[in-house]
Amino acid sequence: MARYLKEHGLVSRVRRSKPYLSPHALEKRRLWANEHKGWKVEDWKHVIFSDESKFMLFKSDGHQWCWIRPGQALDPRFTKKTVKHGGGSLMVWGCITAEGMGRLHRINGIMKGVDYVKILDDNLLGTLKDQKLKKTGKYGIIFQQDNDPKHTSHVASNWFEEKRIKKLSWPPSSPDMNIIEHVWHQLD
């Protein structure tokens, strides 16, 4: 059977992983895209993209490549260090603007809405100050966050209202549309 399939141009490959998107989520993504298709680069420059990310301290998500000479395979400079049970992780919140990287905050434990608001107070507002960005007005920022319950909590919603910070609507299950994911990849 395999030979027959090969003769007809088919090859066997490992299936690639891809997040499942329900028909409802696909429709929300389509509507969001239509709503923002007229945005110009200048519009997107006002958006601050944010997210949390988890980094494994010793475990890699895949192969790590290096260039070595014969006999250097076990040289400590060229080995991947491992520890039992993964060695722990580090969780961070960060943001990125058109001006560059914003502040990075280490998250300890499980984050709740009040913890998120404290991060926003210290690090989002700190990023705005560091980069001399305005919260409101014609050139005010637009803040992007996903639909995590702590982001949409009453305490967080009240904070955004109180600080008069405009939020960018965000479709469900859409991390692939957030440019900060590229930053996390590089940081990892």
In this predicted structure, the answer to whether residue 124 has a pLDDT above a threshold of 90 is yes
Q: How far apart, in whole angstroms, are the C-alpha atoms of residue 111 and residue 79?
A: 35
Q: How far apart, in whole angstroms, are the C-alpha atoms of residue 118 and residue 104?
A: 13
Whether 157 is covered by a domain: the verdict is yes
Which CATH number do you get for residue 161? Answer: 3.30.420.10
Which strands sit side by side in the sheet containing 89-97, from one edge to the other?
100-107, 89-97, 47-56, 142-144, 166-168
Q: What's the pLDDT at 85?
A: 67
Q: What's the pLDDT at 31?
A: 96
Whether 162 is covered by a domain: the verdict is yes
Whether 10 is covered by a domain: the verdict is no
How much is the pTM?
Answer: 0.79
Q: What's the pLDDT at 60?
A: 59
**Per-residue pLDDT reduced to its tens digit, 60-102:** 556 777 888 888 888 888 887 777 666 788 999 999 999 999 9
Q: What is the number of domains present in the chain?
A: 1
Query: Between the CA atoms of 80, 86, 90 and 96, what dihedral angle is there, to the nearest 10 degrees?
Result: 60
Range of the domain at 165: 40-187
